[in-house]
Amino acid sequence: MTDTLDRPANRLADRVAEPLPGWRRAAGADHLDLLEAHAIFVMREVAAECRAPVLLFSGGKDSAVLLHLAEKAFRPGRFPFPVLHVDTGHNFPEVVAFRDRRLEELGERLIVASVQDAIDRGRVPDPGRWGSRNRLQSVALLDAIGEHRFDACIGGARRDEDKARAKERVLSFRDDQGRWDPKRQRPELWQLYSGQLLPGEHLRAFPLSDWTELDVWQYVAREAIDLPPIYFAHSREVVERDGMLLAISPWVQPQPGEHVSERTVRFRTVGDATCTGAVASEAATLQQIIAETAASRISERGATRADDRFSESAMEDRKREGYF
């Protein structure tokens, strides 16, 4: 995708080759520079303060940005944490291919926590062939945290995604059951992130807290970050269900009365294939996606995620259960 980039000129990277005239004025960094700097800072603090951190990777754009930021924070060294994919088993094949390719390039360790395993072991009920495995991810995640004794999960969640997430700290604590208690969040002053934990507790760290969907796309363009191809407009067989366009897959088949059509679509988020909708879009380049994102009238999750539509506190409820 990198050949389609129109890279913005006014950024720090383009200002480094030679001293700028009047550099005192040029001391300003732009919003992407500052968001990047903060995210790198958070990753380094978590790596330094926590005993066994892990980076959560879904194959989506936010976690692709996280991997990129981890490179900026820790190269030329190795990442001071492994990468964990909570695999629902209902994946877009392009995303799994992307995951494997990126981890191969990076030479970092990948751990896969499988929802199918959790079902097979009887940890969670099987929602059936057509059921969403979104909520079951919490169990697979918490099991992996217990098994590997992780004490910090670095995730790509953003506060602009949801009104419960809008309330969450950058370092967000979980009790020994993995639960978030929104009424007992630690004060988080300045950039003094305290990662100290009691036995059994763990924390979630969200370096992209203050990034919006648009910031992510602008950063992806600026940094030429590789993404799975399903983010770009392509032709795909879809069925319209509950106002969303669901891709036909082994887990999504037309039901009686539903009509399958070939549409030009792209995905705004990547999750379990049974509850992640595509949007009709002709945006095939990053600049087209940025323009479309800026003009969009529907939120990222509202457009594409059936999992957030259950109630006005769907996300809060899932987070209380240990969700990302």
Partner 1 sequence: MAPNLSAAETVPTEPTVPTSMDLLRLAAVGSVDDGKSTLIGRLLHDTKQLFDDQLVAVEEASARRGSHAVDLSFVTDGLRAEREQGITIDVAYRYAATPTRKLVIADCPGHVQYTRNMATGASNADVALVVVDAQRGLRDQTRRHTCIAALLGVRHLVVAANKMDLVDWDPRAYHRVVEDMTSLAERLGVEAVSVVPVSALHGDNVAAPSGKAPWYDGPTVLDALESVPLRTTTATREQPARLPVQWVLRRPGGGRAYAGMVSGGVLAPGDPVVVLPGGRRASITSVTVADRVLTEAPAGLSVAVELDTDLDVSRGDLLAGPVGAPRVVETLEATVCWFAEGPLRAGTPYRVKHTTRVVPARVVAVTGRLDVRSLAVERGSQLEENDIGTVTVALSSPIVVDDYRQNRVTGSFVLIDPTTNATVAAGMIGPLHLGPTGTTRQRG
| Contact call for residue 106 and partner 1 (CB under 8 A) | no
> Would you give the DSSP letter of residue 19?
P
| Contact call for residue 96 and partner 1 (CB under 8 A) | no
> Would you give the DSSP letter of residue 255?
P
Residues 268 and 142: their CA atoms lie apart, in Å, by 26
Distance in Å, CB of 315 to partner 1, minimum: 9
Among 94, 117, 175, 210, binds partner 1 (CB under 8 A): 210
Q: Which residues, 19 to 38, sit near partner 1 by CB under 8 A?
A: 19-20, 23-24, 27-38
Please identify, using beta-carbon distances, which residue of 22 and 125 lies nearer to partner 1. 22
| Contact call for residue 94 and partner 1 (CB under 8 A) | no
Among 141, 238, 316, 322, binds partner 1 (CB under 8 A): 316
Report CA-CA distances (Å) from 226 to 193, 210, 232, 261.
Answer: 30, 22, 12, 29
Q: How many CB atoms lie under 10 A from the CB of residue 224?
A: 13
| Contact call for residue 285 and partner 1 (CB under 8 A) | no
DSSP conformation letters of 172-236? EEE-TT----GGGPPP--TT-------TT-EEEE-TTTT--HHHHHHHHHHHT----GGGS-EEE
Helix (H, G, I), strand (E, B) or coil at 24: coil
Residues 190 and 200: their CA atoms lie apart, in Å, by 27
| Contact call for residue 196 and partner 1 (CB under 8 A) | yes
Contact 75, 107 (CB under 8 A): no
Distance in Å, CB of 271 to partner 1, minimum: 17
| Contact call for residue 259 and partner 1 (CB under 8 A) | no
Residues 268 and 61: their CA atoms lie apart, in Å, by 9
Please identify, using beta-carbon distances, which residue of 143 and 307 lies nearer to partner 1. 307
Dihedral angle over CA of 219, 210, 163, 273, nearest 10 = 30
Among 50, 55, 67, 73, binds partner 1 (CB under 8 A): 73
| Contact call for residue 13 and partner 1 (CB under 8 A) | yes
Across 293-308, b (16+ Cβ under 10 Å) vs e yields beebeeebbbbbbbbb
Q: Which residues, 122 to 141, sit near partner 1 by CB under 8 A?
A: none
Please identify, using beta-carbon distances, which residue of 12 and 111 lies nearer to partner 1. 12
| Contact call for residue 11 and partner 1 (CB under 8 A) | yes
- Binding mask 146-185 toward partner 1 (x if CB under 8 A, else -) reads -------------xx-xxxxxx-x------------xx-x
Among 224, 262, 298, 310, binds partner 1 (CB under 8 A): 298
Please identify, using beta-carbon distances, which residue of 198 and 255 lies nearer to partner 1. 198
Distance in Å, CB of 239 to partner 1, minimum: 21
Q: Which of 268, 263, 318, 324 is nearest to 55 (CA)?
A: 324
Q: Which residues, 214 to 253, sit near partner 1 by CB under 8 A?
A: 214-215, 218, 222
Distance in Å, CB of 59 to partner 1, minimum: 23
φ, ψ at 183 (rounded to 5°):
-90, -5
Task: Give the binding range for partner 1 (CB under 8 A) out of 9-17, 88-96, 98-106, 255-263.
Answer: 9-17
Please identify, using beta-carbon distances, which residue of 114 and 299 lies nearer to partner 1. 299
Helix (H, G, I), strand (E, B) or coil at 152: strand
